[in-house]
C-alpha cells in the first residue's frame, strides 16, 4: 500500500497538487476497499471513522481530483449513483466488466476483456481510436435465482 500511496503522491505532485492528510485518508479507504464499488457517501462514512474532521464536500472534491488524475474511475450501475473504484495498473486502459443483479444489487466483476474482438473490428471499420469501454450486464445472481426457484 505504501508504494501505491507514494505513486499517487508523485502523480499529484506532477500536477502541482499535494497529497494532504485528508486526501490520504480517502485514498486509504479506496485502497482498503478495492474489491468494492463505493459511492461518495460510503467513502465519506468510512473516512469519518478515522478522520472525523473530513467533510462530505472534501470527499467529493478529492474523488473528482482522483478521477482527473486517473487514480480512480467512476461507474453508474443504473441506480443513479456514481460508484468509485481504484484503477488497477497494467490494464492497458481497459477496465473489467460487471454483472449486476437487479434484485439484490450484488455486483460481480468479470476480469476478462470480452469486447476485444468487437473493439478491433469497430475501430477499423469506423476509423475510430477507442480509448476505453465498459460492459454492464444486468440480470439475476445465483443466490436470488435460487430463492426464486424455491
Higher pLDDT, 23 or 77: 23
Question: Helices (H) and strands (E) in the chain — how many of each?
Answer: 6, 6
Give me the mean pLDDT over the 42-57 stretch. 96
Which residue, chain included where needed, has cell 469486447?
115
Domain-by-domain residue ranges, the chain?
A: 2-86, 97-148
Which residue, chain included where needed, has cell 426464486?
148
CA 73 – CA 77 distance, rounded (Å) = 13
Predicted TM-score (pTM) above 0.75: no
User: Which tens digits make up the pLDDT trace of 109-137?
Assistant: 887 777 888 888 988 999 998 877 778 88
- The reply to whether 144 sits in an annotated binding site is yes
pLDDT band at 108 (very low <50, low <70, confident <90, very high): confident
User: Distances in Å between the alpha carbon of 113 and those of 36, 53, 94, 116?
Assistant: 20, 41, 8, 6
- The reply to whether 133 sits in an annotated binding site is yes
- The reply to whether 25 sits in an annotated binding site is no
User: Which tens digits make up the pLDDT trace of 90-104?
Assistant: 445 556 788 888 898
CATH, range 97-148: 3.30.1490.190
| 3-class secondary structure, 30 | helix
Q: What is the distance in angstroms between the CA of the first residue and the CA of the last residue of the chain?
A: 44
- The reply to whether 116 sits in an annotated binding site is yes
Domain 2-86 -> CATH class? mainly alpha
CA 132 – CA 117 distance, rounded (Å) = 14
- The reply to whether 104 sits in an annotated binding site is yes
Amino acid at each position: 500500500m505504501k508504494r501505491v500511496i507514494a505513486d499517487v503522491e508523485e502523480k499529484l505532485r506532477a500536477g502541482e497538487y499535494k497529497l494532504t492528510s485528508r486526501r490520504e485518508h480517502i485514498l486509504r479507504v479506496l485502497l482498503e476497499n478495492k474489491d468494492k464499488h463505493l459511492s461518495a457517501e460510503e467513502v465519506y462514512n468510512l473516512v469519518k471513522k478515522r478522520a472525523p474532521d473530513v467533510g462530505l464536500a472534501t470527499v467529493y472534491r478529492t474523488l473528482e481530483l482522483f478521477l482527473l488524475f486517473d487514480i480512480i474511475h467512476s461507474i453508474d450501475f443504473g441506480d443513479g449513483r456514481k460508484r468509485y473504484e481504484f484503477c488497477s495498473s497494467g490494464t492497458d486502459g481497459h477496465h473489467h466488466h460487471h454483472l449486476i443483479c437487479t434484485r439484490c444489487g450484488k455486483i460481480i466483476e468479470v476480469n476478462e476483456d470480452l469486447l476485444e474482438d468487437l473493439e478491433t473490428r469497430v475501430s477499423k471499420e469506423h476509423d475510430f481510436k477507442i480509448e476505453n469501454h465498459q460492459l454492464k450486464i444486468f440480470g439475476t445472481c445465483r443466490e436470488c435465482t435460487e430463492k426464486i426457484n424455491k
